A and B are shown apart, each in its own frame.
Chain A
């Protein structure tokens, strides 16, 4: 794949969480990412 730092797994997926989730949401980051994934996959 290309040079996008976020498209690899698990490295890119974890970097994305560090880069976009504000500190005050960190305790819930796993759940937030799961729900975001559900939305993006139209699940």
Chain B
């Protein structure tokens, strides 16, 4: 099969699996990020801003490990742009670690300023605070250099899309760095605008301010997605494994009452729009989602596939039998177990969950650090899943 045919057959495999249609084998979605840099013999500082090296780490991974799709093709971080601009960023890397410093762009009192004009707010508040004195010293030459690096990054994104096509790897879902992601209000509050600490307190101290922000954010950001979905002809099965990919993390700091107030109303409407069109949604549920499983129990088979991070997939299957599952293979086992341990668990996952349908093999955490997996374990598992027949 050439790249295009392979891509098409893999999309069908993912879609059929998500829809609980019987398939010949279990697809493997590689939840691999920067681990592949170490595996290719580099450190992060040698790869993050060197696109030729980054591409090499991706292709070496794909040449070595038989997988059906991969989370990151080396395009998730734009350090070449921020380094051209200068100053300190919230994201940082060392030779061994890529991390993000805790940050909050707003307080509960300034959320409305942000929503009134996000660009003005970024220009007058976020950037001066983030860059400090550096902000005032950026001249035309530095801005031009920054823009040039930004274009170089965009070209790399487009180039890697062609590489993926050559390898026959499908795209996960039609939301990528170029077109924006689907972000519920509580998620943007937690990740960027308020941070965990302020948000946790605000839910109790000034919930009305959160209500106001969430209503405005979701009207602007989620309502158009819902409208577009309602008018869509159906699933986009030509190119993508799923019709949407959404990250959930904020539920980890909420109780059910808070979830029902701040998260669920618009989120259920969004998921309902996908359900009505028989579309497939992947939800990357960071932390544990098990205690919220009952909210998703009424969705028919095919609508939702949960990529589980901390939950036991067998427990989750029992709690939400209609939901597809992605994940299961723990980084703990990949890094600390023996090859035999890994293969035994991979077989259990494929036989017991794969046998029931709605199961996509994947790693439970984004493989990021050198010690997230032993090479021999990863290789054995990838080969096993690729050869396993249902």
Instruction: List A residues at the B interface (Cβ < 8 Å).
Output: 1-2, 4, 6-7, 9-10, 12-13, 16, 19-21, 25, 32-37, 39-43
B135 touches A7 (CB 8 A): yes
User: In chain B between 123 and 175, which residues have their CB closer than 8 angstroms to a CB of chain A?
Assistant: 123-124, 126-128, 130, 135-140, 143-144, 146-147, 150-151, 153
B82 touches A40 (CB 8 A): yes
State how many angstroms separate the Cβ of B84 from the closest Cβ of chain A: 10
Interface flags, B106-118, vs A, CB<8A=1, else 0: 0000000000000
Complex A-B, nearest 10 residue pairs according to Cβ-Cβ distance, in ascending order: A42-B90, A9-B123, A2-B136, A20-B147, A39-B78, A20-B143, A4-B136, A39-B81, A41-B126, A20-B144
Could you tell me the distance between the alpha carbons of A34 and B179 in the complex, rounded to whole angstroms? 11
Q: Does B91 contact A (CB under 8 A)?
A: yes
Could you tell me the distance between the alpha carbons of A35 and B91 in the complex, rounded to whole angstroms? 17
Interface of A is mostly: helix
> Given known contacts A1-B136, A4-B138, A42-B82, is B122 in contact with A37 (CB within 8 Å)?
yes
> Given known contacts A4-B137, A7-B135, A19-B140, is B127 in contact with A40 (CB within 8 Å)?
yes
Interface size bucket, B side? 20 to 34
User: From A16, which residue of chain B is reached at the shortest CB distance?
Assistant: B143
Contacts of B201 in A (CB 8 A): none
B90 touches A37 (CB 8 A): no
